Amino acid sequence: MCGIVGAVAERNITAVLVEGLKRLEYRGYDSAGVALLNEAGELDRRRRVGKVSELEAALKAEPLPGRVGIAHTRWATHGAPSERNAHPHFSGHQLAVVHNGIIENHDALRDQLKSLGYSFSSDTDTEVIVHLLDHTLKSEPDLTAALKVAVKQLHGAYGLAVISAKQPDRIVAARSGSPLVIGLGLGENFLASDQLALRQVTDRFMYLEEGDIAQICRDEVQIWDIDGKAVKREQVQYHEGAEAADKGEYRHFMLKEIHEQPSVVQRTLEGRLADDHVLVQAFGPQAADIFAKVKNIQIVACGTSYHAGMVARYWLEELAGIPCQIEVASEFRYRKVVVQPDTLFVSISQSGETADTLAALRNAKDLTPEQGGYLASLAICNVGISSLVRESDLTLLTLAGPEIGVASTKAFTTQLVALMLLTLAMGRVRGTLDPQLEAELVAELRRLPTRLGEALAMDAVVEKVSEHFSEKHHTLFLGRGAQYPVAMEGALKLKEISYIHAEAYPAGELKHGPLALVDADMPVVTVAPNNELLEKLKSNLQEVRARGGELIVFADEKAGMSNGEGTHVVNMPHIHDALAPILYTIPLQLLSYYVAVLKGTDVDQPRNLAKSVTVE
């Protein structure tokens, strides 16, 4: 994923920019570059394909000191990874830009700018921004004012920063769909796409909001909102302990990571949504071409990631109308599979290093077209520099940040978000998704972080419910439709960290066997959103109550379910049915967490388990 760093100071800032880029390396990238106004006030740059260390070596061989500069790590979306496509991009020798996100109308703008005499030196969408700004400067010579005008013509998503040799006292920046944060120093100020990049220089931050334009000078920062009104954004002081590798105020990493879900889901969405649709280019430069040819999908993953894939199968078939198969990687890798023509191979993994998942990908890639090979491979992964990402044709990174607790939580919900983006992108490219439903789901995705926050606010209620489990040895989890894999994930969480035996069943299967297990010592946990399967689910729950089983039901507030003898109902905020699997995961995570705490187990490092399973 692309990263931005910028600085305006009285000192030489080259090292600050390079260090900032290094701190963003974990997100994955294919090239890096830096542009500064040098001692003579001229714009100069260095760009390299590969690691930031290669850019650093280039800067050592040919130093580029300066006091105003911008830097970038690029993850290719338009144009292959190459030095000419790496940012910063220039317009003449006056203007430089770095950009995260995707400009959708770049083709039209490119034609327009070419007719005005601009020539392009890259294949990127980004280059249109810098020429457009240069053209705007002809009628509006102030850089900040010109940026305000120019961004109005950009469609898509962007977080961008610009420097100009003509106004060397500032960086100007704009945010729409891709995050930017200003770091405040003493007599110097900074900019980045993630505050992590600036921790070495400041602990005071100001987050830009959607539509904001900022002018960052050494002694002053000015911000205008989407309506052009001057605004002040709150200053936030970073406290030690907000770090991923620190539990902060939380008792366990797992609880901290559960509570991080609204923000990491937000991050996973950023830069990938236009007004009413998903930006297909977010999956990589060849995504639109590849997706247009896909007729089938094969998903492969392990554990929690496998459960995410199971949810995605419901979505892909129901919303995008595309046939989808899913299998655990440890089985798939040793099986002779029959590959349907034009099948996209999708692997899902938090770490990107899971041995079985990697082996399955490698086997899939080894198949020749005569053996019925796959069309292409796509990795949904949380680690940008992992083997899975390096070896796949397309990637969509989940941006959950480092997950320390062994039991996966925020990785799962961000995988679900990524898979919903895949579903919407597939439906769009294939023309199988109703545009109105597409727009509705995009709007719901935007509201999702707030909904997750509401579910997390039920923490104390779920903690109380957990008391029903501390003396129990077995539990049943039930769900129907896309909530069945959510029930599976809830059962996996409970067994992993509390060591209580937990099984998940599609609720309709109850009467075909597991009902025999139900008695007063076997609590039954159910997820019950308000969908067309609700009435059937209610009948299944009656079957449990009739056998004396205790029910714990997480139900939509509009589902009309209430507490009664042996039935404990926890009301959930209402949500669009398609996104319910993401929301209903939250109380199940909290439940397993509080049961484990009551039982006194090692929540973050449960016995016999490892975070990354890199061996068979």
Residue numbers at the binding site for ligand F6R (CB under 6 A): 302-305, 349-351, 354, 357, 407-408, 492, 496, 612-613
Query: Cα(360)–Cα(346) distance, rounded to whole angstroms?
Result: 10
- Indicate the residue among 194 and 489 with the shorter CB distance to ligand F6R: 489
Among candidate residues 2, 302, 324, 381, the one labeled active-site is 2
Please state, in angstroms and as integers, the Cα–Cα distance from residue 339 to each residue in 286, 344, 438, following that order: 22, 10, 30
How many helices and strands in the chain, by DSSP H and E? Answer: 18, 25
Task: Tell me how far, at minimum, the Cβ of 26 lies from ligand F6R, in Å.
Answer: 15
**CA 158 – CA 7 distance, rounded (Å):** 19
- From CA 178, how far away is CA 191, in angstroms rounded? 13
Question: At closest approach, how far in Å is the CB of 18 from ligand F6R?
Answer: 30
Distance CA 531, CA 533 (A): 5
Q: Closest by alpha carbon to 72, among 215, 210, 202, 192?
A: 192
In this structure, are residues 146 and 133 in contact, taking their beta carbons and an 8 Å threshold?
yes
The C-alpha atoms of residue 156 and residue 108 are separated, in whole angstroms, by 13
CB closer to ligand F6R, 55 vs 358? 358
Looking at the Cβ atoms of 149 and 613, the one nearer to ligand F6R is: 613
Three-state secondary-structure class, residue 34: strand
DSSP 1-29: --EEEEEE-SS--HHHHHHHHHHTGGG--
CB of 323 to ligand F6R, least distance (A): 24
**Partners of 551 in the β-ladder:** 524, 567
Residue 430 contacts by C-beta under 8 Å, 6 or more apart in sequence? 291, 292, 294, 320, 321, 322
Q: How far is the CB of 490 from ligand F6R (least distance, A)?
A: 11
Nearest partner of 348 among 290, 396, 390, 393, judged by Cα: 396
* Smallest gap from residue 346 Cβ to ligand F6R (A): 13
- Minimal distance, residue 616 CB to ligand F6R, in Å: 12
**How is the beta sheet containing 230-231 ordered, strand by strand?**
89-91, 95-103, 156-164, 170-176, 213-217, 221-224, 230-231
Beta carbons of 486 and 588 less than 8 angstroms apart: yes
Q: How far is the CB of 357 from ligand F6R (least distance, A)?
A: 5
Nearer to ligand F6R, 19 or 403 (CB): 403
DSSP annotation string for 342-366: TEEEEEEESSS--HHHHHHHHHHHH
| Residue tagged 């459960």 (tokens) | 307
Q: Closer to ligand F6R by CB, 167 or 408: give it.
A: 408
Shortest distance in whole angstroms from residue 174 CB to ligand F6R: 35
611 in active site:
yes
Task: State the Cα–Cα distance between residues 274 and 205, nearest whole angstrom.
Answer: 27
In the complex, what is the shortest distance from the CB of residue 358 to ligand F6R, in angstroms, rounded to a whole number?
9
CB of 254 to ligand F6R, least distance (A): 10
- What's the closest the beta carbon of residue 612 comes to ligand F6R, in angstroms? 6
**Cα separation, 420 vs 441, whole angstroms:** 9
Lookup: tokens for 30: 């294919």
User: With contact defined as beta carbons under 8 Å apart, do 529 and 584 qualify?
Assistant: yes
**Which of 458, 527, 444 lies closest to 486 in space, CA to CA?**
527
Q: Which is nearer to ligand F6R, 70 or 312 (CB)?
A: 312
Q: Which is closer to ligand F6R, CB of 425 or CB of 492?
A: 492
Beta bridge partners of 170: 217
Which CB, 77 or 357, lies closer to ligand F6R? Answer: 357
Judged by DSSP in three states, 456 sits in helix
Collect all residues with Cβ–Cβ distance below 8 Å to 615 and sequence separation of at least 6.
Answer: 355
For residues 157 and 154, give the distance between their C-alpha atoms in angstroms, rounded to a whole number: 8
Report the residue number, 213 or 492, with the smaller CB distance to ligand F6R: 492
Of 197 and 527, CB closest to ligand F6R: 527
Options 148, 538, 599, 611, the catalytic residue = 611
Q: Which is nearer to ligand F6R, 104 or 496 (CB)?
A: 496
Q: Which residue is nearest to ligand F6R (CB)?
A: 303
For residue 592, the Cα-to-chain-centroid distance in whole angstroms is 24
Catalytic machinery residues = 2, 611
